[in-house]
Structure 1
Amino acid sequence: MHKYSGQQRILVAVDCIIFGFDGVKVKLLLVKRRLAPELGKWSLMGGFINPTESPEDAANRILEDYTGLKNVYMEQFKVFGDPNRDPVERTLAVAYFALIDIHQYEEQLTAEHSPEWFLLDEIPHLVFDHTEMVKGALKQLRYKAALHPILFQLLPGKFTIPQLQALYEGVYQTKFDDRNFSRKLLSTGLLVKLDEKDKLSSKKGAFYYKLDQSHYEENFDKFLNLVPNPDKFF
């Protein structure tokens, strides 16, 4: 087998930033690190890429190993390569963020590594550069959500407009005007109003909606104006 002469070997890892929505709050899924150094400290789900794996295969394997989750929406967004990011060996980290509806996947979370959900404003100290990774993932998520309906990945099949607004407010960590948000949302042509209401949140109740899959692609760019002043979030 041929090798490139004079080159130092570098480890490559993947780290998964998992965002979830429980219908009210946006959260981040963390686990306790199971390797030294920083053994037992809060960490993202991560691990090394095997020689026969692609980064995507490794990310899916690691996510399932740590949490039991499979077939979730996941997207690569950055490579973290500071020479000193890992105190043990020179390691590059390929970072992915994933989006899930917490209620849809809560029974799949395995107890072995004790994964735990944290509110975005209550994230504990994380190992290495994982806090920087979370900030980068959130910035990328905000950017994409300002352009496309990517956040529907965090919702159940039917949802109310107040639920969707709570989701956007959680991701952007800000308050949206109720009337403007509802008006802009309905103008996208992506929602189908259902006959049933959610009576748990208020006496009057809010109508349920679902995503109109038949017009999804043609209206995919209609979310551009849903977020006011998006530049201030990036």
Structure 2
Amino acid sequence: MDAAAAPINVAVDLVVLTLRQGRLSVLLVQREDEPYAGTWALPGGFVQLEEDLLAAAHRVLQSEASLGREHTYLEQLRTFGDAGRDPRGRVISVAFMALGADLPDPVFGPGAADARFWNLTDIDPAALAFDHAEILGTAVERARAKLEYTTLATSFLPPEFTISQLRGVYESVWGTSLDPGNFHRKATRSPGFVVDLGTQTDGTGGRPARLFAAGEGTVLNPPLLRGGD
């Protein structure tokens, strides 16, 4: 077949990020089939004829990670289409980023030998299948940037949380330490970011802390900038 007439396939790949033991982690599956059999990769799959892209992404989340729509925040990340990215032929991948709090251990589906959440610092990017190191890096930087200007950090937290836990999200995703007093002031004064529930933790093992919930805002004004004082 003429290379110019070769079929083009469309796939979705997902970067599923969560915090485990206070560390930013990503879901990887160990491929069972060629190409890259035995290699760790992002969960993904080909888009079916009757599907739109978002439906395909949710199907992959359910089939490869047992995650329903209620568990995660999902957004389209970017399209990756280098001609040689897949040895099976011309495959264009639409990548999605999914964020969630306390995500359960995955129950992997067909085509995977194993699946689990990996701490980012334990991953050798060069060992990932396809161009998934590039996709993962793009998603992590997107998450770090969105924490500066949006209220997305609350996606990593349960419905009720402390400001200390919220600060822990920023420290884990950004890989830095933040001044507790400055962060508390900025977070609680940003309109629509958090809502004071008027209750406290039970204080078991420490001083009680006020509990908050995610507000209705989507944009931080002023932003919480990396490296800001």
Task: Assess same fold via TM > 0.5.
Answer: yes
For the superposition of Structure 1 and Structure 2, which TM-score range results when normalised by the shorter chain? Answer: 0.7 to 0.9
Partner of 1:53: 51
In the alignment, what sits opposite 2:85?
A: 85
Number of the residue aligned with 1:211:
214
What is the RMSD of the two structures over their aligned residues, measured on CA atoms? Answer: 2.0
| 1:30-49 equivalences in 2 (<5 Å) | 30-49=28-47
Listed one character per residue, the Cα deviations across residues 107-153 of structure 1 (whole Å, up to 9, x for unaligned) are 6x325553211112112431111011010011111222211101211
Q: In the alignment, what sits opposite 1:110?
A: 107
Aligned to 1:199: 203
**1:149–1:186: structure 2 CA closer, same or farther, 3 Å change rule?**
same
Give matches, 1:117-156, under 5 Å.
Answer: 117-124=117-124, 125-156=127-158
User: Which residues of 2 match residues 168-207 of structure 1 at below 5 A?
Assistant: 168-189=170-191, 190-193=193-196, 194-197=198-201, 199=203, 202-207=205-210
Can you give the 5+ residue segments of structure 2 that lack an aligned partner in the other structure? none
| Structure holding more helix per residue | 1
Counterpart contact for 1:83–1:90, Cα < 8 Å: yes
Q: What is the SS of the residue equivalent to 1:95?
A: strand
Aligned equivalents of 2:6 and 2:39: distance in 1?
30
Aligned-residue identity in percent = 31
Residue segments in structure 1 that go unaligned for 5+ positions in a row: 1-5
> Are residues 1:160 and 2:162 paired?
yes
**1:3 maps to which residue?**
none
Deviations 1:41-70 (A, max 9, x none): 111001111111111111111111111111
After TM superposition, the runs of 4+ consecutive aligned structure 1 residues lying more than 6 A away are none
- Cα contact 2:147–2:224 (8 A) shared by 1: no
Higher mean C-alpha deviation, range 93-102 or range 118-127: 118-127
Distance across 2 between alignment mates of 1:162 and 1:149: 16
* 8 Å Cα contact 2:190-2:222 kept in structure 1: no
Separation in 1, partners of 2:147, 2:133 = 21
Distance 2:208 2:115 in 1: 34
**Cα gap change, 1:160/1:136 in structure 2, threshold over 3 Å: closer, same or farther?**
same
Contact 1:24 1:163 in 2 (8 A): no
Query: How far apart, in 2, do the equivalents of 1:44 and 1:223 lie?
Result: 34
